[in-house]
Amino acid sequence: MKKVAFILLLAFGTALVLGTVALAEDKFPQGCASCHKVEGDKDYSLSAEIQKIKGHPAIKANDVKVCMGCHKEGKFAFKKVLHPIHLNSQVFGPKLGGNCLSCHAMSPEGEMSVKGL
């Protein structure tokens, strides 16, 4: 009887540890680039996305640092425009499982940043 209890405890403990590891796993370690890339015959790269935005200046870059050159402040600041685009999307959250921490990172000290910036 004692042995069974021990084995159960061991199994439970292992499941708990594995579960925690699975929760901590980052599906989008590269932030924007983890989703905005070429997939098969579809081009979701940032440079391809902006080609679809009417009136957008022609930019070849895929690096969010380059975007921030124009999108730090003002009407089109990323801190205003990027949140609704993603958080109201039927694809970003519901289909891909994206959330704040897909774009943002937290340092061991608890400070938030944007991955790649």
The distance of closest approach from Cβ of residue 20 to ligand HEC in the complex, given in angstroms and rounded to an integer, is 22
What span, in angstroms and rounded, lies between the C-alpha atoms of 48 and 52? Answer: 7
Strand partners, 112: 106
What lies within 8 Å, CB to CB, of 96 at 6+ separation is 35, 102
Residue located via tokens 């340092």? 107
Site string for ligand HEC, 41-80 (x = CB under 6 A): -----xx-xx-xx-xxx-x-x--x-xx-xxxx---x-xx-
- Report if residue 89 touches ligand HEC, rule: CB under 6 A: yes
Q: Are 96 and 36 in contact (CB under 8 A)?
A: no
Q: Given the rule CB under 6 A, which of 7-15, 17-25, 96-104 is the region that contacts ligand HEC?
A: 96-104
CB of 14 or CB of 83, closer to ligand HEC: 83
The distance of closest approach from Cβ of residue 29 to ligand HEC in the complex, given in angstroms and rounded to an integer, is 10
Residues in contact with ligand HEC by CB under 6 A are: 28, 31-32, 34-36, 46-47, 49-50, 52-53, 55-57, 59, 61, 64, 66-67, 69-72, 76, 78-79, 81-83, 85-87, 89-92, 96, 98, 100, 102-104, 114, 117
